[in-house]
Amino acid sequence: LKVGKVYLVGAGPGDPGLITVKGLACLKQADVVVYDRLVDESILNDVRPEAEKIYVGKADRLHILEQDSINQLLLEKARKGKVVVRLKGGDPFVLGRGGEEAGILTRNGIPFEVVPGVTSASAVPAYAGIPVTHRGVASSFAVITGHKASDRGEPRISWDKLATGADTLVILMGMRNLA
């Protein structure tokens, strides 16, 4: 029985030019692409026409059941010997739940590789003209989920310490809880 391989690939923050050379090479050789909501779907233009493209996009409320289904899908395709690209916005390991997928693949003996991506945490401020660090102004930054209220069993966020401890704060997925 041939076992495939899963690439956990960061698509970058939206601009299709900000995927990595390695990430694009993975996409071009994929048998299956499992992708989230993307800022710009033209990033999928280089996927082979015969490859299977599976949209598992979700809004900013990610339910555990959905993640379980994605995990099962990755296992199932890899066990059929497929080269699977799990394409995620930004970086798979920066609030992208790539660690959970890596854990499932490890526990099931499926070969995988992580291809880091440009994270929106620094790239979106950069495109807005804001360096997250700047000499004399900011020598540290913190990236925090703003998604917390809808999750359970998560470690408490120490807003008081973060607010005064890190020089720049970047809050991802926070729009729903902004008020």
Find out whether 126 and 99 touch, Cβ atoms under 8 Å: no
Cβ nearer to a copy of itself, comparing 110 with 144: 144
| Site mask for a copy of itself (CB under 8 A), range 108-137, x = bound | ------xxxxxx--xx-xxx-xxxxxxxxx
Considering the rule CB under 8 A, would residue 56 count as an interface residue with a copy of itself?
A: no
Q: Is 84 helix (H, G, I), strand (E, B) or coil?
A: strand
> Which contiguous run of DSSP H or E holds residue 56?
none
H or E segment and range at residue 69:
helix 64-79
Q: Indicate if 36 belongs to the active site.
A: yes
Q: Considering the complex, what minimum distance in angstroms separates the CB of residue 38 from a copy of itself?
A: 15
Q: Report CA-CA distances (Å) from 157 to 91, 146, 162.
A: 21, 10, 8
Binding site for a copy of itself (CB under 8 A): 10, 12-13, 15-22, 24-25, 91-100, 102, 114-119, 122-123, 125-127, 129-145, 148, 151, 153-155, 157-158, 160-162, 164-167
